[in-house]
Structure 1
Amino acid sequence: MDYSTLAVDTDDDGITTLTVTRPRARNALSGQVLTELAHFLSAERPTGVVLTGAPGPAFVAGADIREMAAMTPAEGERFGALGQRVTRLVEEAPYPVVAAVDGYALGGGCELVLACDFAYATRKSVLGQPEVVLGLIPGFGGCVRLQRLVGPAVARELIYTGRHVDAEEALRLGLVTAVFDDRPAMLAAARATLRRIAGNSPVAVSLAKAVLNGVRGRTVPEGLDVELAAFREAFTTDDMREGTEAFLAKRPPVFGRTRHHPAFDD
């Protein structure tokens, strides 16, 4: 599919840099952007994704306020449902998705970051959920995911005040995992991390991601059951045989071409 609001750049390792390309609108999430993101995330099976925005002042400045201002309640609900679908597709993708934040990641942009496996940021980056300033609330998953990441009290303070946090505070809070001086260094680091992940068993990475998502909200015994089921499933895979045999033979493993576990297929 040819995208009008996304740029897709896939290297020889299968790692895709997925860029929102609406720089004049600060890469705001319009219905078109969300629809194209949903299509890519539903149709493609890369090794991993670096999710970023076109260079400028913003990673993704938020949802498109010009579109939302004219929406009826029913239209707002459909728009929110589309945004939630996109963030769930990011969160549940059978491959790692790393946010590369350079500039403002506010509202829907911050919610995209929260749905990724982890995020890198440049020092100029600013994150936040300022929806209350517009008479709105986070609607793409921010009320759910933010408190899981930073804790209920911090999430309430951030959402109720709508205040922004700079890159260093975002790092302290755990919203991002590393901060870089500039965009090239950040993108290079994100790709290097994904290449390192790609050298491991793609099936095992997919299973681990499924467990990490699946144990949320469960008790420890319930979570351990989820983990044990996936641990057992790993023993059924060719990757497990190859990985253990390579270790014992003191040679690098050569994993198969399967990039994700069949359990993720529709």
Structure 2
Amino acid sequence: MITIDTDDRRSIRTVTLDRPDARNALTVAGLEALEAAIADADEAVIYLQGRGPAFCAGADLEVVGDLDGDRDRAAEFARLGQRVARTIEDSPAIVVAGIDGPARGGGLELALACDVRVGTPDSTYGEPGVTFGLFGAWGGTVRLPRVIGEGDALEFALSGRVIDAEEARRMGLISRIEDDPRSVAEEIADNAHDALAVLKRRLRDDRERATQERHEAQVFGDLVAAHADDIDAVLE
């Protein structure tokens, strides 16, 4: 489900979401494996990618459906996703998301937790949960306006629309469009590793995140309870 490769010469760990038949959608086990792959890295740079035609479809909807509308279990699942996103954000390594194909919902939120997001010309981005009564609850309501600004964040999240790489670049959702996003990870890794770590710590200073995420998880639990039937309809 998660594979790890290391380029010792450049000190890059490549973490691959490896469930292509499900567009790399994440289960509880997948989230925990991703968390471990990030947490135990001692390389200077981590490159996060998806296997196959998608970066990540987000949470596996069958997992969400199996919550059976239980508020507490839904909030617990949201908190797990938030924890994984925080692990990415707080890693001493520079984490680069190489996005090819769709990044949806929780997959987009994990990319938002990365330090650098690079998309291929074929990458697309969306938060479709609002179309069936949910929203991304892995820290997306905290990070999205911080990354692209409140106005674009509201329109993008509330519409549920999908945008292409060019529009994502205009918004600042991704920083570059490259045929080979890994080249950006290599470019970063060629710099002084101690300076990279210090820059990340200074630029990532955010003391209000925990409070915002706690409210986000609670509201997600309420919505899962309210829209259990809608989730089941999507799965049919």
TM-score exceeds 0.5: yes
Equivalent positions of 1:13-32 (< 5 A) are 13-32=10-29
> C-alpha separation between the residues in 2 aligned to 1:110 and 1:127?
7
Q: What secondary structure, in the 3-state scheme, does the structure 2 residue paired with 1:203 have?
A: helix
* CA–CA distance in structure 2, aligned partners of residues 14 and 212 of structure 1: 22
Question: Which fold has the larger relative contact order, with Cα–Cα distance below 8 Å and residues 6 or more apart in sequence?
Answer: 2
Matches within 5 A, 1:22-101: 22-56=19-53, 58-71=54-67, 72-101=70-99
Match 2:200 to one of 180, 184, 209: 209
Q: Aligned ranges for residues 5-16 of structure 1 at < 5 Å?
A: 5-12=1-8, 13-16=10-13
Q: Secondary structure at the match of 2:143?
A: helix
- SS state at 1:35 partner: helix
Verify the 8 A CA contact 1:90 1:97 in the aligned structure 2.
yes
User: Is the 8 Å Cα contact of residues 13 and 41 (structure 2) preserved in structure 1?
Assistant: no
Taking a change above 3 Å as real, the CA distance of residues 216 and 152 of structure 1, as seen in their structure-2 partners, is farther
**Partners of 2:133 and 2:99 in 1: how far apart?**
26
Which residue of structure 2 lines up, in the alignment, with residue 176 of structure 1?
174
Structure 2 gap segments, 5+ residues each: 209-236
Q: What per-residue deviation string (whole Å, max 9, x for no partner) do you get for residues 132-166 of structure 1?
A: 11211210011110000111111111111111110
Report if the CA contact (8 A) 1:127-1:164 is conserved: yes
CA RMSD, aligned part only? 1.4
Distance 2:116 2:174 in 1: 7
1:216 Cα deviation from its structure 2 partner: 7.0
Residue 236 of structure 1 is matched in structure 2 by: none
Matching residue of 2:135: 137
Identify the residue that residue 124 of structure 1 maps to in structure 2: 122
Mark the runs of 5 or more structure 1 residues left unpaired by the alignment.
218-266
Runs of 4+ with >4 A deviation: none
Kindly state the Cα deviation for residue 215 of structure 1 after the two structures are TM-superposed.
5.6
Match of 2:154 among 143, 153, 156: 156
**Tell me, what secondary structure is at the counterpart of 2:49?**
strand
**What amino acid maps onto 2:89 in structure 1?**
E
Alpha-carbon separation, structure 2, partners of 1:14 and 1:186: 17
